[in-house]
Structure 1
Amino acid sequence: MELLKASVSLVPWIASKVAKHVAYPFKVSTNIKALESSLEQLDAQKRDVETTITNADRQNGTPTEQIKLWLREVEAIKQKAVEVSNKYQQQCRCIWNISPNLWSNYTISKRAAEQNGEVMNLCERGEKIPAFGHRASPLAEEMPVSSSNSFNLELAYPLITGYQKVQNIIGIWGMGGVGKTHLLKQLNNKLFKDGIFSVVMFVTCSKDCSEEKIQNEIINKFGLNKSNSKVDRRRTIFNFLNPKSFVLLLDDLWSEMDLESVGIPTPNCIGRIVVLTTRSEDVCRLMEVDEKMRVNVLDWNEAWSLFKGKVSEQTIESNPLILKYAVDIVKELGGLPLALITVGRAMHDRNDPSEWEHAVELLKRARLHEVELSGRDEPVFEVLKFSYDKLRDNNLRECFLHCSLWPEDHPIEKNDLVELWMGLGLINENSIDMAYNVGYNYIRMLQYACLLESTDNDSQVKLHDVIRDMSLWIISNEGHEQDKWIVRSRASNQSKVVIKDETEKISLMYHHADEVLLIPNFRDTRLTTFLFTSSCLSSSIPTLEIPILSFFNLTVLNLKQNKIAAFSTEICSLRNLQFVDLSDNEIESLPSEIGALVNMKYLYLQGNPICTIPTKAIYQMRVLKVLDLSPPYYYVNKEKQDKLNFVRSLLETLERLPEFGALGVELDNMEDMVRLCQLYVPVRWLTITMSLWQGSTFSFPSEYFVSFQPSKLFSLRLINIDVVDFIGTNATIQANISRGNSESPILKRLENLDICRVGMIKVPWGGLVAPKRFFPFLKCITISRCYDVQTISWVVHLPCLRELTVSGCPIIFLIYEYELSEPTFPLLKLLVLEGLPKLVKISNPKIIFPALETLKIFECNELEDFPFSANYIPPKLNHIWVEEHWWNAKWSQGLRSSLTEYVRFLY
């Protein structure tokens, strides 16, 4: 009975199914029309999605994986539906357009009904799936700039981003110092933050710009494949940019530039923008810009506010006469921002009204307000020279002028600058440490005077191009002696350098050897300084055909980074030389004739694979102060025995030189280390490389170093050592404490520490010999290929640490693990973690990074967390560099959303 009831209840269901199938042959036309109607709706929805994705690309969007799958399914169902429709049309080619084949009608109608259901399901799914998500922030870099908004920014930005009328090439022009570069940096930062374009490129052009320079800058900026072929570089750049939306920002363009030859896709559609700045409206015409925008000088209110901010309101209001003269000065400066900044800073601490009155008279003579009418730069230079004249003494002024020996818009390494000043005799201190300190103080004074600018790299400074032009104008006796200093770089397109009677200094940086021919027009020149660096010279100096013997008066010679294979004996004939830099070449030995350089004070040979040195010849250089023989970074010396023979005799020789102040040297055995500690030889740059790794141990401090008071170690590299022990014996520690000195004497001035291929690192932890007291000034640590190191917790409290790089350590699993009791990483700006396959965690969540700007993580596939949470992001964080596949696979959507604006992908 129950079975009968169940059977009866199934009858309606069975009947409906049967009726559905029986109806198929007679509803074929209806089902086909319904399918076609649904397909039209799906196709329209698909076009809408594609339009949304296209527009999203301009908002730095990327299609989601779900929507990509949906689009593929749409294409598949469309193809099936077209097949069904075509088959039906073929069946209907008979009388009255009705197919008499019932079985064929049945199958076609059934397939049409089923596919119509699939189409309607896709339509419903398509409405719910997000079409796009946000990529990691655009490939761009935020640039340091004083303010974020300005009237000019409000005018320029819509020209780039406006949807109604987009100008593809925009030219921004105006006189030098008016603020074009400042505006372009503001545009860069706003584009970076808004994320409208996939790529934002800021390229500095300058007078000596070339297509090659722009290509190399783009390739280096985005880590693209390098090539010596211009065609290959062009293809690489084009393939990188072509599928992306981009903005190219060209700063300080002086002549026409063929963008197509560089590899820039033609900016003739939405999403491809080129913005250039130039001093000349003619350049805008040559570049065929779609829109020109002139940057004018500041109005009175803006000019007064800027000037008052540089002088200080307290100084201006300290005396009614000063206020009157300040107003007069601002009027004379004509609203030129660079002049307002430099002159304002020069008057910052001037409280005598007579000085202000004198300043007004000097600035009136410059007639700056006429510069735009005359087109001459000299009035601007005369105004800027006011700041130069206000520097404290002639020595500082000379230091400033020598900054112009570097190429335009090129960063200047602070150490290179200070060492040049030392070589020129502009810094003459008995202590080398004091000389470097004085040099860095000079740099700070020039920055304070707004004559040098900071960069995003703490180790570098740069000159504003107009300030540099002013400097060269001063050097040339206000334009009357153009060849007094000859300063050119590789892209100057001038291969011949004619040395005139008045030529005193030559700077040819970043040239190729076959581009330069020096031609003196007399036997003995007045030339005292010759800088020819990073120029890919031939194997030795004579092959250059440089008339080196004509430079008898030469005192400063810099030929670093030129692949030079031999120290030429011709150099040894220039007896007036006091400074020679042949760093980063391929020199293996020094000639015995080097002893003829009796006036030599500074000899920099770091980065050369030097195996032999004539120590007797070195002894003849009685006024030698600095000798840097630090080895190349990745060089392994093949002739250890030769090295063993000369190091000890060299140390003994240097101890007998009365002026000697700093040595850079590599030691490869304990005997040399012991001997070094017994001698009065101040070591500034020390590399310790053991030839046999197993069983080697170096201890700091040890019984040897307790008495090693003369050492003032600045940089230490430890390579191929089994155990590095910074703890030492209890007796050694107690000896230090009893002297009132809990830091190691040779490490208390240490700023750079590089540890490579070291098994175990022992560092004191807590108490009187805690890391912060042991390394009080340590700024940069690199730990690489240390196969037994599991954690480096000792780095976290170093008070001055700014850069930390850990790479190629296979078993390190944690950077820091202990509980916190003091502030962590107070100054750390850069953290790089590379090739750490076992790294699971960087630190506990209580660690903070108050100064962190850049985090780079590469090949750390097991890393499970960032060193900070989505709730706390370091306040100064700019960039997180990661691998794209790791970023997409590893992290939750919430964390990705919080950090997206900081993320950059490593290519």
Structure 2
Amino acid sequence: MAEFASLAIDGAEKLWNPISSAYDYFKHYQKNVDALVEKAGRLKVRRDDVEAIVRAAESRDEEIRKEVREWQERADKLLKEHEALKDRSEKNKRCSGSGCLPDCRWRWRLSKEAVDMASVVDDILKEQRFDNVALPRAERPPEFRRTESMRKFMLFSSTEKAMDEVMEALRSGGTRVIGVHGMGGVGKTSMVKQVATKAISERLFSIVVMATVSQNPDRRTIRNKIADELGLESLGACSDEAASTKIRNRILREKKVLIILDDLWTKLDLDSVGIPYGSELEDCKSRIIITTRLQQVCTLMESIRIQLQHLSEPDSWEFFKRTAGTNFEARKFEEIGKLVAKECGGLPIALIAVAKALADKDIEEWKTAARLLQRSMPFNQDEDEATVKCIKLSYDFLKGKEKACFLICCLFPEDHNVGMEELARFGIGLDLFKEADTIEEARKEADLITKKLIGSGLLLDGDKKEQVKMHDVVRDVAIRIKSADRDGGEEPFFLVHTGRMQKEWPTRRTYKRYGAISLMCSEINRLPDVLDCTKLQTLMLQENSSLKEIPSTFFKWMNDLLILNLNGIQASSLPSSIESLKNLRTLHLDRCKFNDIAILGVLETLEILSLRESLIEALPEDMGKLRNLRLLDLTLCFNIQKIPSKLISSLYSLEELYLKGSFWRWEDAMQPGTATTHQGRNVFFDELVNLRRLRILKVDMENEKCLPRNIETVPNWEKFDICICREQFTRMMNVNLSKKASHVYSTNLLVDIQMKKLPNWFIEVVAKKAEKLIYSDCEDLNMLEEYKHGQFSGLESLVVEQCQEVCNLMCVTNNGSPGDSAPVFESLQELRIFHMDFLEKICVGELPTGSFERLKYLEVQQCNGLINSLLPPNLITRLGNLEKLILNVNSVEEVFGFEGLEQGQGYLGRLQEIRLENLYELANVYRGPERFADFRNLKFLMVIRCKKLRNLFSVSIPGSLVQLEDLWVEECDLMEEVIRSELEITLEVVIPRLKTLFLKNLPMLSSFYTGNASLKCPSLEHLCVQECQNFRTLASDFHSLNHVHENDEHHMKLLKKSSGTNHGRVDGD
């Protein structure tokens, strides 16, 4: 009976459980639906946050992780399903509210769906734990830079014809590879650079990538150049195949890339350097332009052929006159001038070289030049006579130092960017700058010489500042001038074999006549056991990554060697024969694996020693014997633990010491009267203080304890970069950021302590002379005191970051003392404030007249204690020269506070760019009388994720927006109109120069302007409206005089990228 009862109960439970469950769904219908609404709301917030982060990553041109994309798709799908269920629920609710009974079955089904969906929402919320939404990526591709030579480009009939043909081929879309051929020096490279600029301006392409291939192509160098132009991270650790794949994928993903391959001599395997071809190239809307001296190369590359002819005789004469910059008619030079120009054979490179060489010469020198050009013979019949004889003539007009610097440049590989620092150190090694008392003076002299060489047309601007290049034709002539098969009298020859094609040491019958040997960037893995090079002064073996050993006797017969560069070789030790280099002045061992460098102590004539990024762990005591050493560079030698005490003080001649990202273990300063032994101890900082000739110092230290409190001799450091910081990461980051900075300051100081803890002498010698000052993670800093009493009057850049005790950056009081009326930071041009959670105000009190009068750049990021106006009246009245303002502070309610101002007609009149991002509490861009808002020079305005902002300006403001060109508004949830309407305004609203208007994800936006006055934007070219479902303003409503391109995403992408480059100094600085 009991068994039967048990079975009955089990059966009843099995029957009741589903009934009970169904009843629960019905009974708890509203509870289940409300629970889903709450969870769906959380998912929407999470989805929006992820989307914002993804958009930010995309704006930086980063590739989003696949798992993130999949999560977004699932979240979007789930939220759409929730909206559909919510709609059905509302219908059921309306039925109940109208008096009819709800459908029980329908309610049960909705409740069950809500429970099931809530479970899925829980799962997807748990999954969203992304450390990073993007794959590791480098910065955006750099802009195509217009050099000075490009700006001076002259268009004549032959170049115009070729340019038109190339542009037509690019526009047509059917041609994948375009070949431009013509003789050396005819101007192919200059012409295709102009084509690139024109193609970008016509928006045919988004990116230009240019790489020089040269006569001995090095695929690794070509790939690295393309990767750099694309903004890819270093390919150093990648295999050849992986590097090529990385480049190809980037080009395919980027789309619309113009690839220029300059100076081809034979067919190049595009696949080997990562360039897509065939249908792949067509699919990504990219094109290739090649330049070559040889027409058959065009055929090998399956390109169309476009020939660039030499200039006609009339065009040559016109080009020659403009280049020479002289009035030939007035000086009665016209006849002889035309004769000289004719001898240049219509080649721009020859015309430039001769015109600039003779520009300031008298009539007799012009006649002599004409005779020399008519009589000259080329070095050999394979070379173009006009080019060679003209460049040789220009070279002959140079003076001794100018000739030497010119010839130094031909020792570097073709298309190599030669750094000004390299040239200066070369010149010091060769004793070119005998009249320069310091290395800094030698740099200035080298700079003047290179400017003259650029002015003469024999050198070109490099890809970056402080770099120069040599045209391949000019380089060929320079090498021929110093070649061994010419009658050079007693002058030593040059042996130049650079590039990866060089696999073995070049064999010569004798090396006795060589004065310089350059085999840099080659693949040589074995050196001769010994070389009889008694006249050799310069030996360049750098970047030979295959070179793993140097024979012990290799340097035995190089007694006169002055310059030795072994950067980047893989040898593990220095040979004993290096002791033979008794006259060596300049030695570069950057990125070398040598650990024991004690042998260098015998090189007593050494003046420049560079060991950057090497693996040394200690400096040997014998290096103290280098009494003539003037420059020691140990930057980024992060393994170095030991610099023996008394070593640095022994280097009496030292002018420059570089230890950034390297040694920081200074001994604590000795207290006065304390006896101590130096045996076995590290270096004391006072050794640097006592070096009388030291002018440039770049060092790190863990804290201020190493600084002596009192000194006898005040140092004269003209340039310095000193970092006092306990965190090694910060010290290393400071080195990297310094290398990438758009502007390099001469005197820099980074501290993580209050200034008052530093010795008085250090404050006077360093802190008060600093052009750039960084406070980073100062735990005990609660306010800046240094601006008081006229201190830091020369400071140009101030950065305050992660100083969490600071509530007010400055507090200005007026107690009647003379110091209280002194201007605050009167020379400051940049102010950056980052990650200051408790910062409430930038400044409290009235700033004296002259304060911040030169400030051009203000950036505030992640300072979420700022609540009211970021720029209240006491700051606005002093920022008359502000040009760029970048804000990312989610707690600020308004940017500009004009309330309380009673006098003046307008402020901020020089402001050119405003970027407002993630200002979630921002309700108004400005508050107070509008007559004080003067935006007459504003050109760029970007507003992103300002959630509470309903409009940007009142209708009375646009009258001052006469320069505004680009306006970008995105993800402002409550934005209803861009310009706030006012009923009494019936005149025209005109924004005369607005070219681009971008509006995205503005759900409440209904119109650009809803007032009665007519709206006119006569210059509008681009209108992009995305995810603005209520926006009703048409392109025609802007009354533009141009054709308006709507939703041109390519243009918007370029604009977003270009705006991202503006986080730096203002133009012209």
| Interval containing the TM-score (normalised by the shorter chain) | 0.5 to 0.7
Aligned-pair CA distance for 1:551: 3.3
Against the structure 1 CA distance between its residues 346 and 570, is the aligned structure 2 distance closer, same or farther, given a 3 Å change threshold?
same
Q: Does 1:661 align with 2:655?
A: yes
Distance 2:870 2:568 in 1: 37
1:685: which partner in 2?
697
Aligned-pair CA distance for 1:537: 5.8
Distance 1:790 1:141 in 2: 43
Contact 2:494–2:516 (8 Å) recurs in 1: yes
- Give the counterpart letter for 2:997 in structure 1: G
- Give the counterpart letter for 1:662 in structure 2: E
Against the structure 1 CA distance between its residues 795 and 415, is the aligned structure 2 distance closer, same or farther, given a 3 Å change threshold?
farther
1:662-709 Cα offsets, whole Å, 9 max, x none, are: 33455535523344324425142320321xx5xx4799xx97579424
1:154-196 Cα offsets, whole Å, 9 max, x none, are: 4234333333x73222110111111100011111111222222
- Give the counterpart letter for 2:913 in structure 1: F
Q: Does 1:313 align with 2:326?
A: yes
Against the structure 1 CA distance between its residues 247 and 673, is the aligned structure 2 distance closer, same or farther, given a 3 Å change threshold?
same
What's the RMSD between the two structures over aligned residues? 5.1
- Give the counterpart letter for 1:517 in structure 2: R
- Give the counterpart letter for 1:247 in structure 2: L
Contact 2:831–2:855 (8 Å) recurs in 1: no
1:506: which partner in 2?
517
Q: Does 1:146 align with 2:151?
A: yes
Distance 2:604 2:570 in 1: 26
Contact 2:824–2:851 (8 Å) recurs in 1: no
- Give the counterpart letter for 1:146 in structure 2: R
Distance 2:405 2:431 in 1: 10
Query: The residue matched to 2:636 in structure 1 has which SS?
Result: coil
Identity percentage of aligned residues: 22
Distance 2:623 2:576 in 1: 15
- Give the counterpart letter for 1:205 in structure 2: V
TM-score by length of 2: 0.57
Contact 2:594–2:614 (8 Å) recurs in 1: yes
Query: The residue matched to 1:382 in structure 2 has which SS?
Result: helix
Identify the range of structure 1 (409-418 vs 236-245) with the bigger mean alpha-carbon deviation: 236-245
Against the structure 1 CA distance between its residues 688 and 362, is the aligned structure 2 distance closer, same or farther, given a 3 Å change threshold?
same
Q: Does 1:388 align with 2:389?
A: no
- Give the counterpart letter for 1:228 in structure 2: C
Query: The residue matched to 1:430 in structure 2 has which SS?
Result: coil
Q: Does 1:628 align with 2:632?
A: yes
1:37-92 Cα offsets, whole Å, 9 max, x none, are: xxxxxxxxxxxxxxxxxxxxxxxxxxxxxxxx9xx99xx9xxxxxxxxxxxxxxxx
Contact 1:716–1:754 (8 Å) recurs in 2: no
2:293: which partner in 1?
279
1:422: which partner in 2?
428
1:410-431 Cα offsets, whole Å, 9 max, x none, are: 1111111111111111123332
Contact 1:413–1:461 (8 Å) recurs in 2: yes
**Counterparts in 2 of 1:220-239, with a 5 A limit?**
220-224=228-232, 226=235, 227-239=237-249
- Give the counterpart letter for 1:311 in structure 2: A
Q: Does 1:255 align with 2:266?
A: yes
Against the structure 1 CA distance between its residues 239 and 631, is the aligned structure 2 distance closer, same or farther, given a 3 Å change threshold?
closer
1:814-840 Cα offsets, whole Å, 9 max, x none, are: 9998898677478x9xx9999999999
Contact 2:531–2:555 (8 Å) recurs in 1: no
1:58: which partner in 2?
none
Distance 2:886 2:549 in 1: 41
2:211 to 197, 203, 208: 203
Contact 1:137–1:192 (8 Å) recurs in 2: no
Contact 1:713–1:746 (8 Å) recurs in 2: no
Against the structure 1 CA distance between its residues 233 and 862, is the aligned structure 2 distance closer, same or farther, given a 3 Å change threshold?
farther
1:213-272 Cα offsets, whole Å, 9 max, x none, are: 332222232233635222222222332333523322111112110113333222454734
Against the structure 1 CA distance between its residues 679 and 486, is the aligned structure 2 distance closer, same or farther, given a 3 Å change threshold?
closer
2:568: which partner in 1?
561
**Counterparts in 2 of 1:96-107, with a 5 A limit?**
none
1:258-310 Cα offsets, whole Å, 9 max, x none, are: 11333322245473421100111121122121x21111122344323332223
Against the structure 1 CA distance between its residues 520 and 636, is the aligned structure 2 distance closer, same or farther, given a 3 Å change threshold?
closer
Against the structure 1 CA distance between its residues 565 and 355, is the aligned structure 2 distance closer, same or farther, given a 3 Å change threshold?
same
Contact 1:720–1:756 (8 Å) recurs in 2: no
Query: The residue matched to 2:322 in structure 1 has which SS?
Result: helix
1:652: which partner in 2?
649
1:107-138 Cα offsets, whole Å, 9 max, x none, are: xxxxxxxxxxxxxxxxxxxxxxxxxxxxx999
Distance 1:454 1:210 in 2: 23
Q: Does 1:470 align with 2:477?
A: yes
- Give the counterpart letter for 2:245 in structure 1: R
- Give the counterpart letter for 1:396 in structure 2: E
1:311-347 Cα offsets, whole Å, 9 max, x none, are: 2235x35521x23322222222222111222222212
Distance 1:364 1:241 in 2: 50
**Counterparts in 2 of 1:310-349, with a 5 A limit?**
310-314=323-327, 316-320=328-332, 322-349=333-360
Contact 2:214–2:263 (8 Å) recurs in 1: yes
Against the structure 1 CA distance between its residues 491 and 901, is the aligned structure 2 distance closer, same or farther, given a 3 Å change threshold?
same
2:608 to 591, 602, 611: 602
- Give the counterpart letter for 1:264 in structure 2: I
1:553-578 Cα offsets, whole Å, 9 max, x none, are: 42211112346655554423432322
Contact 2:625–2:650 (8 Å) recurs in 1: no
Against the structure 1 CA distance between its residues 453 and 791, is the aligned structure 2 distance closer, same or farther, given a 3 Å change threshold?
farther
1:486: which partner in 2?
495
2:718 to 707, 712, 727: 712
**Counterparts in 2 of 1:67-216, with a 5 A limit?**
141-144=144-147, 145-147=150-152, 150=155, 151-152=160-161, 154-163=163-172, 166-216=174-224
Query: The residue matched to 1:518 in structure 2 has which SS?
Result: coil
1:536: which partner in 2?
545
1:298: which partner in 2?
311
Distance 2:585 2:422 in 1: 16
Contact 1:140–1:192 (8 Å) recurs in 2: no
Aligned-pair CA distance for 1:755: 7.9
Against the structure 1 CA distance between its residues 517 and 872, is the aligned structure 2 distance closer, same or farther, given a 3 Å change threshold?
farther
Against the structure 1 CA distance between its residues 494 and 860, is the aligned structure 2 distance closer, same or farther, given a 3 Å change threshold?
farther
TM-score by length of 1: 0.67
Distance 2:219 2:438 in 1: 46
Against the structure 1 CA distance between its residues 590 and 518, is the aligned structure 2 distance closer, same or farther, given a 3 Å change threshold?
closer
Aligned-pair CA distance for 1:710: 4.1
Query: The residue matched to 1:242 in structure 2 has which SS?
Result: helix
Distance 2:191 2:277 in 1: 24
Point out where structure 2 has 5 or more consecutive residues left out of the alignment: 1-72, 81-138, 670-683, 728-749, 811-822, 896-910, 916-934, 946-967, 973-977, 979-995, 1000-1021, 1024-1051, 1062-1069
Contact 2:142–2:231 (8 Å) recurs in 1: no
Contact 2:586–2:606 (8 Å) recurs in 1: yes
Against the structure 1 CA distance between its residues 894 and 867, is the aligned structure 2 distance closer, same or farther, given a 3 Å change threshold?
same
Aligned-pair CA distance for 1:447: 2.1
Aligned-pair CA distance for 1:903: 3.6
Distance 2:354 2:809 in 1: 49
- Give the counterpart letter for 1:238 in structure 2: R
Contact 1:727–1:762 (8 Å) recurs in 2: no
Distance 1:461 1:795 in 2: 41
**Counterparts in 2 of 1:582-621, with a 5 A limit?**
582-591=589-598, 593-608=599-614, 610-615=616-621, 617-621=622-626
Contact 2:326–2:359 (8 Å) recurs in 1: no
Against the structure 1 CA distance between its residues 198 and 813, is the aligned structure 2 distance closer, same or farther, given a 3 Å change threshold?
farther
Distance 1:362 1:816 in 2: 70
Q: Does 1:904 align with 2:1057?
A: yes
